[in-house]
Structure formats: C-alpha cells, structure tokens
Amino acid sequence: MFFLFENYLKPGDKVLDLGCGNGRWFKLFQTYNVDYIGVDSSVKLIDIAQKNNPEAKFKVEEGLNLSFPDNWFDKVYSIAVFHHIPSKEFRLKFLEEIRRVLKPDGTLILTVWKLKEQSYLLIKYTILKLLGKSKLDFRDIFEPWGKKAERYYHCFSESELIDLVKKSGFKIKEGGLIRNERGNLQNLYIVAQK
C-alpha cells in the first residue's frame, strides 16, 4: 500500500485525503512534506482526527459536494471509502466532484475493499434482489460489523471499478490488487489522471 504514497507524492503537493476518518494516514502524508487537508462526513471522526493531529487541517465535508474551488488539488486520495457509497449515480457524482477539484493532470489514488468472505453475502443479496425483496443494487451487501451492526458495502469487480472511473472522465494510469502489511486483507486500487 505504501507505494501509493512513495510513487505519487512530491514535496509541496496540495493533497486532499477524501474520507480521512480518524486521520490515520496523516502522519504518513506528513513525511512527504505535502500541503495536506483531510475531510470526512463524520463530525465525530473529524474531532478524533483533529485531537490526535492538532497540527493538521481537517474539515467536515460531504464528498458529493466539496467546498473547494475547481482545479485546487494536485492529488486526491480516497482510501477505503468508495465502496461505502450507495448507487452508481452517487459513485459517479463522487468521482466527478473529485475531478472538479483536481488540477489539470492531477492524480486520483483510489482504493476499495476486496473481501474474501463476501461470496455467500453476494449470493444472498442477489437472490433477495431477484425475488424483489431488496432495493439494493446488484453487488450491494450489508456486511456484519461487530456483534450487532452491519455496514453497507458495494462489491466492486476490477473491471467495474475501471469502467466507472473512465466514465467519469479520468484516464487510468495503473491499477490492480494490493494486500495490507499482514497479507490478510486485499484492496483494489486505481491511479487515474484528470
């Protein structure tokens, strides 16, 4: 995963961490001496991020309607966020908003989960959809999270992700599958240029 930082960040880059959550990536961004701002729709997570990183800039923002001007950022990172956006329409709007705030030739670095244990959930939600008992799109699931909660997740295929990024006007530079440090979790990634 770290090559997504090493290979694409340059000192002085204006970087948006879109869906920054609790600010977990800020320290890594900081090592590259970039002009960083992290945004998330969760007030509680932004409070945690700011408390843990008082020197950083964090804002509560909605990814579908960012407050930044056109052509503002050199790089936009969206790490493990995109798969939580429901509906193709909103996913396209999210990508178009990223494209709007990127400078000409700016770069999008995007990752989505690729869960190993999702096949039974895909079958379950596909059957529910075919029977008219689910309003979710195909490949949408609710994944168990903890003992009492579930969270929405869209199960991207690599080709679907590439097609959607291209449809929003980006040029794909590279993509593929990466693993976390322990090797037990996988992510699809896309690097695309405006």
CA–CA distance, 72 with 45 (Å, rounded to integer): 24
Structure tokens at 35: 């002009």
Confidence tier at 191 by pLDDT (50, 70, 90): very high
CATH architecture of the domain formed by 3-115+155-193: 3-Layer(aba) Sandwich (3.40)
Mean pLDDT is lowest, of 53-57, 62-66, 102-106, 128-132, for 128-132
pLDDT > 80? residue 180: no
pTM summary value: 0.90
Ranges of each domain in the chain = 3-115+155-193, 116-154
Confidence tier at 85 by pLDDT (50, 70, 90): very high
pLDDT digits (tens, 9 = 90+) for 20-37: 999 999 999 999 999 999
pLDDT digits (tens, 9 = 90+) for 5-21: 888 999 999 999 999 99
Confidence tier at 119 by pLDDT (50, 70, 90): confident
